[in-house]
Amino acid sequence: MSLHDIAARGLHLLDPEDAHGLTIAGLEAGLGPRVKSAPDPILTTDLAGLALPSPIGLAAGFDKNAQAPDAMLAAGFGFVECGTVTPLLQAGNPRPRLFRLTADRAVINRMGFNNQGLEAFAGRLADRQALAPRKGVVGANIGANKESADRIGDYVIGLTRLWGLADYFTVNISSPNTPGLRALQTRDALEELLGRLAEARRPMPGAAPVFLKVAPDLEDGEVETILSVSAAHGLAGIIVSNTTIARPASLSSPQAGETGGLSGAPLMAPSTQVLARFHAANSFGLVLIGAGGVASGADAYAKIRAGAAAVQLYSALVYEGPGLAARIRKDLASLLKADGFSSVAAAVGAV
């Protein structure tokens, strides 16, 4: 365990949100870990046209305001997703709103899209571009303000403002902490949302893949609907999945009854099952990204074999520290080789 990992565990003495704020400040100050060795070449892969050194990505929620994407790339992530960002600055829900379920290796959050707003986010990405050529793939996760009169319009604003500043975009309609947001996963609402985003993209120069991030709590038929509507409107793929509103009976932490989205180890199995449903129904060639509960090379490998071209993690960093990404990519490379795969792509869907 590195000094950075030991320090991360020491932050458990603080309130979870205070600890997170201190972590971001430390990363901005250049105090994060730097992995000097390149990932094993077997991990090099293509994600909807994006060349990745490894398929291990940082999920949205960690770096809401695009303050430390390069620090996390340096820590060993193959790609980093910043956000969720909304057009207007938003305070989010009242504190406390972030809870460690230590006994369950899990987290519950009801943050409510707290962020500094689109202009601050765009400014940091623009500054990053101006300083030097991009050092890695950085995506933008876009959302809607809680009090917006036109939530779909908020997504259009986010996409158009950040076009050319981010390498890819994720449309987040699956957070359980903004009332009514998940209703955008229904067919009619999704048709309108993705149709307006497609119209907004059409005149813009260049290309950037757009993904849709969905909830794991989907009814029968919703997987097929999401896939068909997403393909019809030119999306590159689906991120499966966001946090869950379910509370498994196995949870033993005192905070298990808190309201919000559950992430971490208890989400690994159910989110992978939903991922496999998407893979089985995916006759459209959409790229799938697996998220939810990834904490090891074995977890990442299970997501890939269930149909994911890449994976994302966040909650496991709370318990494993910032050295986790480098450990996962090393173990994943060993697992691929042990099973005779020549690449990540060769293992996708190989259950």
Would you name the residues annotated as active-site residues? Answer: 175
Burial group, residue 307, by CB count within 10 angstroms (0-12, 13-18, 19+): buried
CB 211 within 8 A of CB 235: yes
Q: In 3-state terms, what secondary structure has residue 169?
A: strand
The structure tokens listed for 278 are 């998407």
Nearest C-alpha neighbor of 21 from the set 36, 11, 34:
11
Q: Which residues pair with 57 in a beta bridge?
A: 79, 312
Which segments of the chain does DSSP mark as H helices, in order? Answer: 3-10, 16-28, 69-74, 118-131, 151-162, 187-201, 222-232, 268-281, 297-306, 316-320, 324-338, 344-347
- Residue 315 — φ and ψ, nearest 5°? -60, -35
Give the C-alpha separation, 321 to 336, whole Å. Answer: 24
For residue 207, what are the CA distances in angstroms to 48, 163, 165?
11, 9, 11
CA distance 132 to 201: 26
Tokens at 35, concatenated:
């992995």
SS3 87: coil
Rounded to whole angstroms, the Cα distance separating 203 from 185 reads: 26
DSSP tag of 123: H
